[in-house]
Chain A
Amino acid sequence: MTRPLLELRNVSRAFGGLRVNAEVSFTLGEGERVALIGPNGAGKTTLVNVITGDLAPSEGRVVFDGQDITDLSIPARVKAGLVRTFQITRLFTGLTVAENVALAVMQRRGMTWRFFARATFTPGVREEWRRILELLGIADLAARPVTELAYGQQRLLDLAIGLALNPKVLILDEPAAGVPHDEAPKILEAIDRLPREIAVLMIEHDMDLVFKFARRVLVLANGRLIFEGDAGAVTRDEEVRRAYLGSYADGRRRA
């Protein structure tokens, strides 16, 4: 395996008496493409929130690039290179597409005291936001206000902001959720073109997407990691089948 970047050591998270994550351990190496899947209520979102710093773990440690980041704030984690995307809420709707990305580039570079320069034209910054938008196939939208973008385009812009923060690890939070069918392929293409050196952890329901994207799959069920291994082997695993079928049967009974 490549150099380990993100490492979870026996992470548990409880809400009151309810243990949502129990002793989860895994490692994500440089440039890896890993999918985290699991039935509804398996604790995927909680686990991601613990990784990004939105939630503190009840037990266990989160290590990033050799440094224990368990007690680090969200901005500090972002600065270190641990970036989460596909949260539409983070777009600045009063700004254009180019300005959104340029702002992230400037803040990352610490250009916080430039006032009268034109952000999107600043040499260095301009090349960077252009390169990112071209990589994701949305360069033609650069001058458009965010409010005019289609939903799928907003998600791509969010991915662009994530890239502008120069991540070492990128967490894609259900990239295709809610995106209309005709826009979904563009998102897949964009994910496919992400720079190789970035490690990507994708949380996803859509198994087609998972198989296209990931070589390694982690399966979470009832808060525990029940499978970790090759994407091809996951559907043959008995415990994974039980977890998914079980929840499916539960769902049927409830409905």
Chain B
Amino acid sequence: MKIGIDVGGTFTDAVVLDKGHMRAFAKRRTTHGQIMDGLLAVLDAVCKDVPVEQIEKVTLSTTIVTNVVIEGKEEQTDLYVIPGPGRNVEEAFPVKPIQIPGYTDHQGRVVAYFNRKEVKALMKQEVQAGHRPAAVSAKFAIRNPSEEQALSDLAKQSGYRLVSEGTKLSGALHFPRRTVSAYFNSAVQTTFSDFVKGVQDALKARHIEAPLYMLKADGGSLPIGALTQMPVEAVFTGSAASVLGMKALGGMPTSMAVALDMGGTTTDISLWKEGQPIRARGGVTIRDYPSAVQSFQVESVGIGGESYVSLRKDGTWQVGPERRGPSMALGGESPTLGDALIVAGYADFGDKEWAWQGLTQLTVLMGTFSTNKQRVELGQAKGQKQAVITKQVDKDKVEQVAKAIIEAAVDTIQEGIRRAVTRENKRAVYTVQDIVEAHRFKPESLVGVGGTAGALAPLVAKAMHISVLTPKEAPVANAIGAALAKETVQVSLYCHTGKQELTVPELGLQESNVGIYSMAELLAKGQGYLQDLAKQMGIQENLIVEVVAKEDFPVLDGGYRECRIMNLHLQGKAGVDTYVRD
């Protein structure tokens, strides 16, 4: 049996899954400041009737790292960079970097070694100032990690408690992103380790001996031991859990699809191709700094079931992004999109009378607006209850207002979908073939999950003239996504067949005389390295190897000999290992 726990912004959910069947689930308020309390509360709730020895695996998706970076509470960290010539990076990172002269070029040739003596002296001085962690990153270290590695070794020797290296976190081009990843990786490590220790102690106290896993932003999971080396990967895992949850609950169409996760305040839009969510280019942005942390591409719009409704100056309806509380049908004080959905007959929950009350208020407001051409603020709905009820308002008119409000919400969501699709279709491509035979993303179907999806998703689909699917609602989809997340790791290979050199930055590896001449040979080698890395990280399952990207260039050596430069990026395929049935 597998346990999945998802710590979200509002709720902490837990689920126990037995081969695709949900054995137990629980939902508790997230306890901000004391995440562990809420977490233990759901854990205890779901474990009540489950024999602990049958638990095989516990997977967590938490906001612990997210909260640290959003609140700027990360630990003070010394950032050493070897930027070489190029862009000025003085202001590119969350802290002022300590810049070390030296340079490795785009071919991985060390043009200038950094001065070991000077750097050692400098580090000694810095370390004395406090017992801080450090992060190191060098431009083009992905082509030759030796200088970055040397800098890291020196930092450890100089007494830094822990050191993160950019290339260990990402083998992709983009020095600033790798550097930002390395910085945050070191800066959140203490908080992360403390949290992990807390969870481990709690599991132990409950005699749960199953291994602990944690979800990463890229939708894969890792054994906790491995993730402790790369805690930055556990940032912003909420949307990954949500996307995996959709997949686990089954039936993502194989056509090009738009998925909407419709909550109380926001709707998260993801795009799907062949049953797989599309990944974001580059990586997630952490406090305005683009990092190399991989994720799915998710676009958020401020429309949800509890979106506050107000009248704009021009007489049109403003729906969201503000939320003032629950819908009036659920005891709230101001009318919401959810109330409009009830009045228009698309939803059926709570006290309908109150929903009508709220919408009648808005109708009167609209009437006053039409005659005076002046904007009127809606007061506290409950306070005005008497006044409204005495007025006879035509039922049709109220329904019309509800429909206009829903239309405005659907427009906003469609706008968000258009933005997501445009971004996908503007993805840079670099070959004539990809331009001439452009593969444009065009949504063919829509999938809606979340509290508001049943009522609203069909309306969005109708406006877009595409089919809609609203899978049966599971109240703890994100926890299910976390529980079933496959384990993933990534490796990047860069091979120059002329020089017979191979670099695998994530492994800190540079080999010569590799005997590789073709992409097929490189792929075979890469698969081996991926499995090695998986083993090293304590992954037990067999990974399904996915080619994320590959490039194969015929190039000329200095002596006009033809050879090839090949780039290969492999990962264990992300996704879920089983589907959940009712």
Q: Do A and B bind each other?
A: no
Residues on B close to A: CB < 8 A?
none
